A and B are shown apart, each in its own frame.
Chain A
Amino acid sequence: MPRGDFLGSLEQIVMLAVMRLGDDAYGMTVRREIEKRTGREISIGAVYATLERLEAKGYVSSFTGEPTAERGGRAKRHFEIEAAGHQALDASQNAVKNMSEGLSRRWKRA
Protein backbone atom coordinates (compact mmCIF):
# COMPACT_ATOMS: atom_id res chain seq x y z
CA MET A 1 0.00 0.00 0.00
CA PRO A 2 1.39 3.45 -0.90
CA ARG A 3 2.41 5.56 2.11
CA GLY A 4 -0.38 7.78 3.37
CA ASP A 5 -3.04 5.99 1.32
CA PHE A 6 -5.33 4.89 4.13
CA LEU A 7 -8.76 3.45 3.41
CA GLY A 8 -11.81 5.64 3.93
CA SER A 9 -14.39 4.62 6.52
CA LEU A 10 -16.87 3.26 3.94
CA GLU A 11 -14.05 1.37 2.21
CA GLN A 12 -13.11 -0.28 5.51
CA ILE A 13 -16.73 -1.12 6.30
CA VAL A 14 -17.28 -2.65 2.85
CA MET A 15 -14.06 -4.67 3.06
CA LEU A 16 -14.95 -5.95 6.51
CA ALA A 17 -18.39 -6.98 5.22
CA VAL A 18 -16.79 -8.84 2.30
CA MET A 19 -14.44 -10.57 4.74
CA ARG A 20 -17.32 -11.57 7.05
CA LEU A 21 -19.45 -12.95 4.21
CA GLY A 22 -16.68 -15.04 2.64
CA ASP A 23 -17.97 -17.04 -0.34
CA ASP A 24 -21.38 -15.36 -0.12
CA ALA A 25 -20.05 -11.81 -0.65
CA TYR A 26 -21.89 -10.09 -3.49
CA GLY A 27 -23.49 -6.65 -3.82
CA MET A 28 -26.77 -7.22 -2.00
CA THR A 29 -25.38 -9.40 0.82
CA VAL A 30 -22.66 -6.78 1.44
CA ARG A 31 -25.32 -4.05 1.56
CA ARG A 32 -27.48 -6.09 3.96
CA GLU A 33 -24.54 -6.95 6.21
CA ILE A 34 -23.60 -3.26 6.50
CA GLU A 35 -27.19 -2.28 7.32
CA LYS A 36 -27.50 -5.08 9.86
CA ARG A 37 -24.25 -4.37 11.70
CA THR A 38 -24.01 -0.56 11.49
CA GLY A 39 -27.67 0.45 11.24
CA ARG A 40 -26.58 2.66 8.37
CA GLU A 41 -28.84 2.63 5.31
CA ILE A 42 -26.74 2.39 2.19
CA SER A 43 -27.65 2.18 -1.48
CA ILE A 44 -26.56 -0.71 -3.64
CA GLY A 45 -24.96 1.88 -5.97
CA ALA A 46 -22.74 3.14 -3.14
CA VAL A 47 -21.66 -0.45 -2.38
CA TYR A 48 -20.77 -1.09 -6.03
CA ALA A 49 -19.00 2.27 -6.44
CA THR A 50 -16.87 1.46 -3.36
CA LEU A 51 -16.15 -2.11 -4.47
CA GLU A 52 -15.18 -0.87 -7.92
CA ARG A 53 -12.76 1.65 -6.38
CA LEU A 54 -11.27 -1.07 -4.17
CA GLU A 55 -10.93 -3.39 -7.17
CA ALA A 56 -9.13 -0.67 -9.15
CA LYS A 57 -6.67 -0.36 -6.25
CA GLY A 58 -6.14 -4.13 -6.28
CA TYR A 59 -7.60 -4.64 -2.78
CA VAL A 60 -10.51 -6.83 -3.86
CA SER A 61 -11.15 -9.02 -6.89
CA SER A 62 -14.41 -10.19 -8.41
CA PHE A 63 -15.77 -13.04 -10.47
CA THR A 64 -19.15 -13.62 -12.12
CA GLY A 65 -21.38 -16.44 -10.90
CA GLU A 66 -24.15 -18.29 -12.70
CA PRO A 67 -27.36 -16.44 -13.71
CA THR A 68 -30.39 -17.41 -11.60
CA ALA A 69 -34.15 -17.16 -12.20
CA GLU A 70 -34.89 -15.20 -8.99
CA ARG A 71 -32.55 -12.49 -10.28
CA GLY A 72 -34.34 -12.20 -13.61
CA GLY A 73 -31.68 -14.35 -15.29
CA ARG A 74 -28.88 -12.06 -14.14
CA ALA A 75 -25.59 -13.29 -12.71
CA LYS A 76 -24.13 -12.44 -9.30
CA ARG A 77 -20.78 -10.72 -9.02
CA HIS A 78 -18.85 -12.22 -6.11
CA PHE A 79 -16.06 -10.35 -4.34
CA GLU A 80 -13.07 -11.49 -2.32
CA ILE A 81 -10.28 -9.70 -0.48
CA GLU A 82 -6.79 -9.82 -2.00
CA ALA A 83 -3.53 -9.92 -0.02
CA ALA A 84 -2.97 -6.18 -0.72
CA GLY A 85 -6.47 -5.55 0.65
CA HIS A 86 -5.67 -7.36 3.90
CA GLN A 87 -2.52 -5.23 4.29
CA ALA A 88 -4.37 -2.01 3.51
CA LEU A 89 -7.14 -2.84 5.98
CA ASP A 90 -4.60 -3.78 8.65
CA ALA A 91 -2.64 -0.54 8.12
CA SER A 92 -5.79 1.61 8.24
CA GLN A 93 -7.16 -0.10 11.35
CA ASN A 94 -3.76 0.17 13.08
CA ALA A 95 -3.52 3.87 12.23
CA VAL A 96 -6.89 4.56 13.87
CA LYS A 97 -6.01 2.35 16.84
CA ASN A 98 -2.66 4.08 17.35
CA MET A 99 -4.19 7.54 17.04
CA SER A 100 -6.96 6.79 19.51
CA GLU A 101 -4.77 5.04 22.05
CA GLY A 102 -5.08 6.63 25.48
CA LEU A 103 -7.87 8.97 24.39
CA SER A 104 -10.85 6.87 25.38
CA ARG A 105 -11.26 8.67 28.72
CA ARG A 106 -11.25 12.05 26.97
CA TRP A 107 -14.03 11.32 24.53
CA LYS A 108 -16.10 9.57 27.15
CA ARG A 109 -15.94 12.79 29.20
CA ALA A 110 -16.93 15.01 26.26
Chain B
Amino acid sequence: MSLSTLALWQWIVARLIPPAQAEALIGDLLEERRLRLQAGPHVGVAGWYSRQLASSVSVLLWASMRRGAWLVTVVTAVASLIAALRIMTVLQSALRPMTTSSFANDVIMLLSFAAALAACGSIAASIRLGAARLLALLVFAAVCAEIATSQGAPLWLMGSFLVLGPLATIAGATLSGWLRRVWL
Protein backbone atom coordinates (compact mmCIF):
# COMPACT_ATOMS: atom_id res chain seq x y z
CA MET B 1 0.00 0.00 0.00
CA SER B 2 1.48 3.33 -1.07
CA LEU B 3 1.91 6.29 1.26
CA SER B 4 -0.73 8.27 -0.64
CA THR B 5 -3.27 5.46 -0.23
CA LEU B 6 -2.52 5.29 3.49
CA ALA B 7 -2.90 9.05 3.73
CA LEU B 8 -6.25 8.80 1.92
CA TRP B 9 -7.53 6.13 4.36
CA GLN B 10 -6.37 8.25 7.29
CA TRP B 11 -8.14 11.25 5.80
CA ILE B 12 -11.38 9.25 5.46
CA VAL B 13 -11.14 7.99 9.07
CA ALA B 14 -10.52 11.56 10.27
CA ARG B 15 -13.68 12.75 8.48
CA LEU B 16 -15.87 10.07 10.13
CA ILE B 17 -15.14 10.76 13.78
CA PRO B 18 -14.50 13.83 15.96
CA PRO B 19 -10.94 15.26 15.54
CA ALA B 20 -9.68 14.25 19.02
CA GLN B 21 -10.86 10.68 18.52
CA ALA B 22 -9.40 10.53 15.00
CA GLU B 23 -6.05 11.70 16.32
CA ALA B 24 -6.04 9.01 19.02
CA LEU B 25 -7.12 6.27 16.61
CA ILE B 26 -4.53 7.08 13.95
CA GLY B 27 -1.88 7.49 16.67
CA ASP B 28 -2.76 4.03 18.01
CA LEU B 29 -2.42 2.50 14.55
CA LEU B 30 0.95 4.19 13.95
CA GLU B 31 2.21 2.99 17.33
CA GLU B 32 1.15 -0.61 16.69
CA ARG B 33 2.56 -0.47 13.15
CA ARG B 34 5.91 0.66 14.51
CA LEU B 35 5.90 -2.15 17.10
CA ARG B 36 5.09 -4.74 14.44
CA LEU B 37 7.81 -3.41 12.14
CA GLN B 38 10.34 -3.68 14.99
CA ALA B 39 9.17 -7.17 16.00
CA GLY B 40 9.39 -9.07 12.75
CA PRO B 41 9.32 -9.22 8.95
CA HIS B 42 7.77 -6.19 7.28
CA VAL B 43 5.72 -8.25 4.84
CA GLY B 44 2.47 -8.62 6.81
CA VAL B 45 2.53 -5.20 8.46
CA ALA B 46 1.28 -3.14 5.51
CA GLY B 47 -1.57 -5.62 5.00
CA TRP B 48 -2.47 -5.53 8.70
CA TYR B 49 -2.42 -1.72 8.71
CA SER B 50 -4.60 -1.37 5.62
CA ARG B 51 -7.04 -4.06 6.91
CA GLN B 52 -7.34 -2.17 10.20
CA LEU B 53 -8.03 1.13 8.43
CA ALA B 54 -10.48 -0.38 5.93
CA SER B 55 -12.47 -2.30 8.55
CA SER B 56 -12.41 0.71 10.87
CA VAL B 57 -13.91 2.93 8.16
CA SER B 58 -16.92 0.63 7.70
CA VAL B 59 -17.50 0.28 11.47
CA LEU B 60 -17.11 4.02 12.12
CA LEU B 61 -19.33 4.91 9.16
CA TRP B 62 -22.05 2.65 10.55
CA ALA B 63 -21.62 4.12 14.07
CA SER B 64 -21.76 7.65 12.67
CA MET B 65 -24.96 6.80 10.76
CA ARG B 66 -26.49 5.33 13.92
CA ARG B 67 -25.63 8.51 15.81
CA GLY B 68 -27.43 10.41 13.08
CA ALA B 69 -24.42 12.67 12.52
CA TRP B 70 -23.97 11.53 8.95
CA LEU B 71 -27.65 11.85 8.13
CA VAL B 72 -27.93 15.34 9.68
CA THR B 73 -24.89 16.45 7.65
CA VAL B 74 -26.31 15.17 4.35
CA VAL B 75 -29.83 16.54 5.01
CA THR B 76 -28.40 19.94 6.02
CA ALA B 77 -26.17 20.09 2.92
CA VAL B 78 -28.97 19.11 0.52
CA ALA B 79 -31.47 21.50 2.18
CA SER B 80 -28.88 24.31 1.98
CA LEU B 81 -28.34 23.63 -1.72
CA ILE B 82 -32.09 23.79 -2.41
CA ALA B 83 -32.36 26.99 -0.33
CA ALA B 84 -29.40 28.53 -2.21
CA LEU B 85 -31.02 27.80 -5.58
CA ARG B 86 -34.29 29.40 -4.39
CA ILE B 87 -32.47 32.50 -3.09
CA MET B 88 -30.54 32.76 -6.35
CA THR B 89 -33.79 32.65 -8.38
CA VAL B 90 -35.37 35.35 -6.20
CA LEU B 91 -32.29 37.59 -6.45
CA GLN B 92 -32.09 37.16 -10.21
CA SER B 93 -35.79 37.96 -10.68
CA ALA B 94 -35.36 41.11 -8.59
CA LEU B 95 -32.20 42.32 -10.35
CA ARG B 96 -32.73 41.31 -13.98
CA PRO B 97 -35.26 44.06 -14.87
CA MET B 98 -32.53 46.62 -14.13
CA THR B 99 -30.58 45.78 -17.29
CA THR B 100 -31.07 44.50 -20.83
CA SER B 101 -27.43 43.60 -21.52
CA SER B 102 -26.76 39.87 -21.66
CA PHE B 103 -23.29 40.33 -20.15
CA ALA B 104 -24.76 42.25 -17.21
CA ASN B 105 -27.34 39.49 -16.79
CA ASP B 106 -24.59 36.88 -16.65
CA VAL B 107 -22.76 38.91 -14.01
CA ILE B 108 -25.99 39.27 -11.99
CA MET B 109 -26.53 35.52 -12.22
CA LEU B 110 -22.97 34.89 -11.05
CA LEU B 111 -23.20 37.35 -8.16
CA SER B 112 -26.58 36.07 -6.96
CA PHE B 113 -25.21 32.50 -7.17
CA ALA B 114 -22.20 33.47 -5.00
CA ALA B 115 -24.26 35.49 -2.52
CA ALA B 116 -26.86 32.73 -2.10
CA LEU B 117 -24.16 30.08 -1.57
CA ALA B 118 -22.23 32.25 0.90
CA ALA B 119 -25.41 32.77 2.95
CA CYS B 120 -26.42 29.11 2.85
CA GLY B 121 -22.83 27.93 3.48
CA SER B 122 -22.79 30.11 6.57
CA ILE B 123 -26.10 28.67 7.85
CA ALA B 124 -25.04 25.09 7.05
CA ALA B 125 -21.75 25.59 8.94
CA SER B 126 -23.58 26.92 11.99
CA ILE B 127 -25.59 23.66 12.07
CA ARG B 128 -22.69 21.34 11.21
CA LEU B 129 -19.31 22.27 9.73
CA GLY B 130 -19.23 19.08 7.68
CA ALA B 131 -22.50 20.12 6.02
CA ALA B 132 -20.86 23.28 4.59
CA ARG B 133 -17.96 21.19 3.20
CA LEU B 134 -20.41 18.73 1.68
CA LEU B 135 -22.40 21.64 0.24
CA ALA B 136 -19.24 22.97 -1.47
CA LEU B 137 -18.67 19.49 -2.92
CA LEU B 138 -22.28 19.22 -4.11
CA VAL B 139 -22.05 22.64 -5.77
CA PHE B 140 -18.84 21.62 -7.54
CA ALA B 141 -20.45 18.36 -8.76
CA ALA B 142 -23.63 20.16 -9.85
CA VAL B 143 -21.67 22.76 -11.86
CA CYS B 144 -19.55 20.00 -13.45
CA ALA B 145 -22.76 18.20 -14.48
CA GLU B 146 -24.15 21.48 -15.84
CA ILE B 147 -20.97 22.07 -17.88
CA ALA B 148 -21.14 18.53 -19.29
CA THR B 149 -24.78 18.82 -20.36
CA SER B 150 -25.27 22.50 -21.26
CA GLN B 151 -24.48 23.79 -24.73
CA GLY B 152 -23.76 27.33 -25.80
CA ALA B 153 -23.10 28.76 -22.34
CA PRO B 154 -20.01 30.99 -22.33
CA LEU B 155 -16.93 29.15 -21.05
CA TRP B 156 -15.87 32.06 -18.81
CA LEU B 157 -19.29 31.94 -17.12
CA MET B 158 -19.23 28.18 -16.46
CA GLY B 159 -15.61 28.38 -15.27
CA SER B 160 -16.54 31.20 -12.92
CA PHE B 161 -19.44 29.15 -11.53
CA LEU B 162 -17.11 26.21 -10.96
CA VAL B 163 -14.57 28.27 -9.01
CA LEU B 164 -16.87 30.80 -7.34
CA GLY B 165 -19.52 28.32 -6.12
CA PRO B 166 -17.38 26.20 -3.76
CA LEU B 167 -15.28 29.26 -2.79
CA ALA B 168 -18.36 31.30 -1.80
CA THR B 169 -19.69 28.35 0.23
CA ILE B 170 -16.42 27.93 2.13
CA ALA B 171 -16.11 31.71 2.58
CA GLY B 172 -19.62 31.81 4.09
CA ALA B 173 -18.75 28.90 6.40
CA THR B 174 -15.48 30.57 7.46
CA LEU B 175 -17.28 33.86 8.11
CA SER B 176 -19.88 32.03 10.22
CA GLY B 177 -17.13 30.41 12.32
CA TRP B 178 -15.32 33.74 12.73
CA LEU B 179 -18.51 35.56 13.77
CA ARG B 180 -19.31 32.84 16.30
CA ARG B 181 -15.82 33.15 17.80
CA VAL B 182 -16.19 36.94 18.03
CA TRP B 183 -19.65 36.88 19.59
CA LEU B 184 -19.32 33.90 21.96
Contacts and interface: CB of A to CB of B under 8 A. Distances in A.
A64 B52 contact: no
A76 B28 contact: yes
A64 B24 contact: yes
Contacts, number: 77
Nearest to B55: A43
Contact of A27 (B24, B51, B59, B60): B24
Given A45-B59, A77-B20, A71 B31 contact: yes
Interface residues of B, number: 25
Interface in A40-97: 43-46, 48-49, 52-53, 64, 67-68, 70-72, 74-77
Interface in B24-72: 24-32, 34, 51-52, 55-60, 62-63
Contacts of B29: 28, 44
Given A46-B56, A53-B63, A77 B31 contact: no
Contacts of B58: 45
B17 interface: yes
B24 A45 contact: no
A70 B59 contact: no
A71 B21 contact: no
A77 B24 contact: yes
Most A CB atoms within 10 A — which of B17, B27, B34, B62?
B27
Nearest to B30: A72
Given A28-B32, A43-B59, A53-B63, A48 B25 contact: yes
A46 B55 contact: yes
A46 B30 contact: no
A38 B29 CA distance: 20
